[in-house]
Amino acid sequence: MFVGNFTAILQTKLKRLFAYSTISHLGFIFTALFIGSLEAFYAFFFYLVVYFIIMIPVFIIIMYLSDFSTSLKRNSPLFLRSFLDINPVLILCFTFLLLSLGGLPPLLGFFSKFIIIYCVLSAMYYPLAFILILFSSVGFFYYLQFVIYVWARKSNFIKILSIPLSFVDSFIIIYFSLFNIFFFFFPFYIIDFIKLFTILIFFEN
């Protein structure tokens, strides 16, 4: 987690940012396995589900951006900033997804990290809980600085020809972005599903 978080801070391209931040997310996942309690297994599967819910639309957006040819570096903040004029909804959804990965309450990513930290505290691994909170704060910082850079409108734009997203890709991006927001109001459905899934796997006999 240390290497992943502090290396991700130095990144200016999204692909590298996600590559290093994934190491940090794996640290949270392995922490839940380390605790080993039933609640920790709930937290483990919940974190996995949340991570894939966020990363599926993020992956679609990155692939969409890769279709553009420009003198600017692809997936850089300046490149993304140019999309505010031609596709602000896409950038807005991407912003929610990044902040959710960073653990901003009340987005979905916050609850996935909170549940694991709660399990660590319940197991009385207080130093480990402090480390998780520290690295969560660092992780939120590098996602937030990327978002701020994208939304800080300046004069150095580059004009980009709009390439339409497919209906399926647009639906997935918007649906999962909204799901990250409205989970706060309807949290029990997915939590109950994760609990049932965990019980079926570990207690089927």
> At CB < 8 A and 24+ separation, what contacts does 118-122 make?
118/39, 118/43, 119/32, 119/35, 119/37, 119/39, 119/40, 119/43, 120/31, 120/35, 122/37, 122/39
Report the largest interatomic distance among the alpha carbons of the chain, rounded to a whole angstrom.
64
Whether 193 shows a pLDDT value over 80: the answer reads: no
Mean pLDDT is highest, among 102-116, 151-165, 183-197, for 102-116
In angstroms, the CA 108 to CA 96 distance is 10
The pTM for the full model equals 0.80
Give the pLDDT score at 203: 56
Give the pLDDT score at 71: 43
| Count of residues making up the chain | 205
Phi, psi angle pair for 77, to nearest 5°: -60, -40
Give the pLDDT score at 23: 83
Residue spans per domain, the chain? 2-202
Residue 57 preceded by cis peptide, ω within 30: no
Q: Is 88 exposed, middle or buried (0-12, 13-18, 19+ CB in 10 A)?
A: exposed
Q: pLDDT tens digits for 155-188?
A: 455 555 556 778 888 888 888 888 887 777 766 6
Q: pLDDT tens digits for 67-106?
A: 664 444 555 556 677 667 777 888 888 889 989 988 888 8
SS3 67: coil
Mean pLDDT of the chain: 78
